[in-house]
A and B are shown apart, each in its own frame.
Chain A
């Protein structure tokens, strides 16, 4: 190797090094938004189009069947292609009239009579009648999937009585206080009964996997699976005319790519679950981009398996609750965009308990409790997490170092979602970490799933918690129409649970979604965080 060659090698190496460094430099400038000359907001952006909304999500849409799907990405689009008897508007979690103008509830809380609007039409022009309502709920139960899980508790095929074309009476099997709330979920969407002709051998499931048969403000225009779904405003919509002419739901799998496209203005809004809190922090300062925030009903919690090993002892569970440095967790993992709560009902919702005990971070107390439980020599436990969330894996790491201080060795086991689900619902875990958002704003939702003994395992009582007092309080509250009694019961349940700590409610995070500043009128719904009211949003440059 001669002299010249060595120099040329060095020269090449330097060029490459400089190029790589230059690339990094530009990127961080852009990311931090420091006076970059080509800032996109100052000058008119070529990608701006006031009539077209581009929404990015990383979750593909499995299908469009309101009764067969439990995916948030499906809810988002079918909520706008269909109408419901009642709905949740904007950031409200109170059901408001939609297809049902008004309704009467009988004294005993069993009979609901709905009066429908008379000008609503399905996308094929046929009117939305009482028959469609009956058809939809009957099909929901027959299909037997997610929607049936909500409705079949209280209604069956014989629950309906069509009084006239626009009046229907639904009689419940037993009183169910949150009934009206459930009708506003995406499961309560009203389907065109014309589907019956295409039922085939699967109740039309394969038809609704690909298309919609609704009456909502948007119609499905086209759908390139895995790439883009296009919705067009329904020109004959019976309600307020939709503002946005075209909505493109674009699947951008990689969060970094979605971020670049937002910076470029090709995307107007990114799904609130895509970007991690840390990156959101960086995006806050980028020109032309705004991070919208809202309180959320999501709770991140840690079930402790009360039927397995050391955790069966309440003292051990209390010790664990005392050994977590909650403030540090909220600060370092959630970047202070979250609050701590004591019970399973999120703050802001009916039934939230101010009093539910918040365990203090107290290592001495924790050690003492462990000693009383006979574990002074230490303890080894496992926490199961799924591999799809940075927040959860960071939380697990922090818990690991916290528990180390009281002599508990915490092994973190990360699984793919299906495996994780199987593990925690079959009770093979010690701890788990889960995020949960209710589908309707009633404490019955969270508490029944978390605490009723009939929900153990597959029903999502992941602590396998059982307390007969809690069971009877839950049953009484579910079937009562007396709000005061219900509230009292839910408070009591949360107090009992705070004492027995089957769960630690680590955080109630804020919802945050990054969008272009030109988007006006978008608010996150605390409960239906997937809901984007495209029909009410405008874009103004």
Chain B
């Protein structure tokens, strides 16, 4: 019950946060000098045409009127029409966001399965060669620009070895699976189409690794330092003293207590990966939200910019809500307090 009440409260809190974000984004994007109508029409436009389009787009109204109109649209599930693609922003988001979500989830998966074990190994072998190796590995991951790493991986695995594909989400000539979630790997599995699944998965690997490099580094370092503290506690010494197997002590006893700060950081890392995906998407021509957002900004496509910002904000809030909820299940003390 406590958990439910907690979740309900957090969901309610989302509303003022989102309103705040919408006001900020709306204000900032509208203070960028530049005229969206002018960009749509180009230099060949007639002044009459320009004025008519401005009127049509509602650009002549005061800002608060434009904002009010936008918000009342949102209330009805209408995010407006993209001035760049001439399509409803909702359709565009449904088209572009699954690619980003799929990539980000995959990167988080890599982060979990590599980052946590590396951190544990690093802590349990403190100052030994395995520790040095993982620490350098983590440092490189955090320090290396994603852009550069992406290109290096492409050069090696795509151009030299030719074992992994270079760009996009599927092999050329392959048509995407029927739209269910928009995530090709999931949709291909649902449709039972193995060749599409294989292609989609192979295309995920390089961008996934590139995106995960930073977050793996973050998680490894956090797991290591958190585990180091836990490993010095009395109960761990006792466990070792009574002869419990090392892996059981490390992963059963120590990690359980050491994982709390790591989970908090995972929520942060998710946000980081969402932001980082813009660069990674560019290198791997991944048709996701990042690409869409960059286009939207270049064309002063305000409805699209607003849509992307709101969506990312919602995703970030939800992930952090999930993380906070996880505490209830991992840390029994919270249930009683």
Contact = CB atoms under 8 A, between A and B. Distances in A.
Interface of A: 1, 5, 8-9, 12-13, 16, 23, 26-27, 30, 38, 52, 54, 60, 62-63, 65, 68, 70, 144-146, 148-150, 152, 205-206, 209-210, 222, 224-228, 246, 248, 250-254, 256-257, 260-261, 263-264, 266, 416-419, 421-423, 425, 439, 449, 458-460
24 contacts: A16-B136, A23-B152, A26-B160, A60-B291, A60-B295, A65-B86, A145-B40, A149-B42, A205-B86, A224-B176, A226-B96, A250-B167, A251-B287, A256-B151, A256-B283, A257-B167, A257-B283, A260-B155, A264-B159, A418-B39, A421-B39, A422-B34, A423-B33, A458-B47
Interface in B162-207: 162, 166-169, 172-173, 175-176
B299 A144 contact: no
A416 B297 contact: yes
B45 A145 contact: yes
Contacts of A425: 38
B284 interface: yes
B155 A224 contact: no
Contacts of B288: 226
Interface residues of B, number: 66
B300 interface: yes
Interface stretch (B49-57, B217-225, B320-328): B49-57
A146 B292 contact: no
Contacts of B39: 418, 421
Contact of A144 (B34, B49, B136, B295): B49
A253 B136 contact: no
Given A8-B132, A16-B136, A261 B44 contact: no
Contact of A458 (B38, B129, B158, B287): B38
A439 B44 CA distance: 10
A422 to B, nearest CB: 4
Given A8-B129, A422-B33, A150 B44 contact: yes
Given A1-B127, A253-B291, A418-B34, A70 B284 contact: no
Contacts of A70: 41-42, 44
A178 B215 CA distance: 59
B49 A148 contact: yes
Interface of B: 32-36, 38-50, 52-53, 81, 84-87, 92, 95-96, 127-129, 132-133, 136, 140, 151-152, 154-156, 158-160, 162, 166-169, 172-173, 175-176, 281-285, 287-288, 291-292, 295, 297-300
B158 A225 contact: no
B331 to A, nearest CB: 36
Nearest to A152: B46
A146 B158 CA distance: 41
A149 B96 contact: no
A254 B133 CA distance: 32
Contacts of B41: 70, 145-146, 149
Given A257-B154, A266-B172, A225 B96 contact: yes
B137 to A, nearest CB: 10
A1 to B, nearest CB: 7
A227 B285 contact: yes
A3 B87 CA distance: 66
Contacts of A263: 159
A225 B133 contact: no
- Interface hub of A13, A16, A458, A460 (most chain B Cβ within 10 A): A458
In the complex, the 6 A-B pairs of residues with the closest C-beta atoms, listed nearest first? A226-B287, A149-B44, A418-B34, A209-B86, A70-B42, A144-B49
Contacts of A253: 281-283, 285, 291
Contact of B136 (A12, A65, A225, A264): A12
B178 to A, nearest CB: 13
Contacts of A38: 160
Given A145-B53, A254-B282, 7 more contacts: A30-B155, A65-B86, A145-B49, A248-B172, A253-B285, A264-B159, A421-B34
A19 to B, nearest CB: 10
Contacts of A261: 166-167
A28 B189 CA distance: 41
Contacts of B158: 260, 264
A458 B169 CA distance: 40
A458 B50 contact: yes
A85 B297 CA distance: 37
Contacts of B38: 421-422, 425, 458
Nearest to B288: A226
Given A23-B156, A225-B85, A416-B298, A264 B162 contact: yes
Contacts of B172: 52, 54, 228, 248, 250, 266
Given A227-B287, A261-B166, A146 B42 contact: yes
